[in-house]
Structure 1
């Protein structure tokens, strides 16, 4: 069940399930995205953790407050404040795409709040030769820019997110399309997400990067810059998989992430 949380001048929607050490789940920026649409299928494998699944500002049921900050920076500040309101001192952070960038920013600014980071094809770090944009980002930005995007545009976007297009079901397309119309973002295109590249070395948390080998949105060729920039990072690449690793390869993803999180919490003095 979705609840809402007042954080400073913003309101965040979130779901709180399970019990145990907290895990904060942060979704991507694709049209129709929300916390539960990204991670609802994974949560049954993590019920021995307390799972906080957040709708980031402007997506799902969370309104977009006015801000001049880059989106990643603004969202990270609200996530940290939400953790405080929820009584969470430290947590593991799991984020895909835009949510991975938000997780990295939290780890940079509030290292004592983060135990372990799991990042699925995270944004916020671009290669020197971008743009041109990968085809998945082209479709994402075009959808955001449309005054009233079409269901067919959503279907094209969803099919780009998975290697096995049978996973792009009509029900999934309908769900994402309806959600996108409720929370269609109003922003510059491409959005001012912010650049995390100069601060990667500030991330002290043990970090797991998970990537789909055939990702057409945030290509695996973008991974080395992050892998080399974060001092304690490792990379797993899954074949026959595109951008939605947690959806397309859910059993493997759940297993890999659980094994990584079992490495334990990090005491503040070790961070």
Structure 2
């Protein structure tokens, strides 16, 4: 684990492998870190230079005080980190909130992005939200609790997977301990920002990956993103909820590798 100066804070990251760079961006759930989201996938990507980030305010990366929407703030810090690490252009893989951060980077810095992989990304809400899906309700309730209980974390983790046997005690404990690290409080629900108006600015080839039974960012939210991003395609995995990269790791790794090996985005694709 290392850190990089992004101007107003240090961004913590883990680097694994060598080759073309891939930046991995995690979700916003309690206890989320880059490695808790993606640690089990990296062995399949060792022929890439993997930069697995703890986004500002999660894991061991501090969150500077800001009134800026979280997605916008995080995207700018990730781009600064890429520059400091000598990465001019990279593939971005984002889960949930991290998917929103990846989209924001692709909108604002298209020259920095080769291909996008977005797993049930945040930042694009339907017009009738709230009410929130049950997964987001539990996420916001956990964030709002003065002293969250371990059982609340267990309930949250079980909701993230279709096969609850994957919600192991070790995983629950890891996420619970990480969630107790103190960061500045957020309003509930947090101000993540709205990416909807700028979807058409995403020029990179984009792969959307969704669990059919996702109860946090449901599949019914996918069509707006699929229609809005010019070069987007969608893969849906059955018997799977929000943590596609964890619950269906072999299929996820295969799908993503196949997509990334399509090559760097040509200028004409933007």
Compute the TM-score of the two structures, normalised by the length of structure 2: 0.99
1:194 maps to: 193
Q: Is the 2:62–2:183 Cα contact (8 Å) retained in structure 1? A: no
After superposition, the CA RMSD in angstroms is 0.9
Residue ranges of structure 1 left out of the alignment (5+ in a row): none
1:104 is aligned to 2:103: yes
Instruction: Tell me how far 1:107 sits from its aligned partner.
Output: 0.1
| SS at structure 2 position matched to 1:182 | coil
2:165 maps to: 166
User: 2 CA distance for matches of 1:184 and 1:215?
Assistant: 28
Residue ranges of structure 2 left out of the alignment (5+ in a row): none
User: 2 CA distance for matches of 1:120 and 1:177?
Assistant: 23
Q: Is the 1:212–1:238 Cα contact (8 Å) retained in structure 2? A: yes
1:143 maps to: 142
2:82 maps to: 83
- 1:147-166 Cα shifts (integer Å, max 9, x gaps): 11000000000000000000
- 1:190-245 Cα shifts (integer Å, max 9, x gaps): 00000000000000000000000000000000000000000000000000000000
User: 2 CA distance for matches of 1:208 and 1:107?
Assistant: 13
Q: Which runs of 4+ in 1 moved over 6 A?
A: none
1:255 maps to: 254
User: 2 CA distance for matches of 1:211 and 1:269?
Assistant: 28
1:154 maps to: 153
1:246 maps to: 245
Q: Is the 2:133–2:216 Cα contact (8 Å) retained in structure 1? A: yes
Q: Is the 2:41–2:249 Cα contact (8 Å) retained in structure 1? A: yes
Compute the TM-score of the two structures, normalised by the length of structure 1: 0.98
2:230 maps to: 231
1:42 is aligned to 2:80: no
Deviation larger for 202-211 or 4-13: 4-13
1:134 maps to: 133
Instruction: Tell me how far 1:92 sits from its aligned partner.
Output: 0.2
1:123 maps to: 122
Q: Is the 1:59–1:185 Cα contact (8 Å) retained in structure 2? A: no
| SS at structure 2 position matched to 1:127 | coil
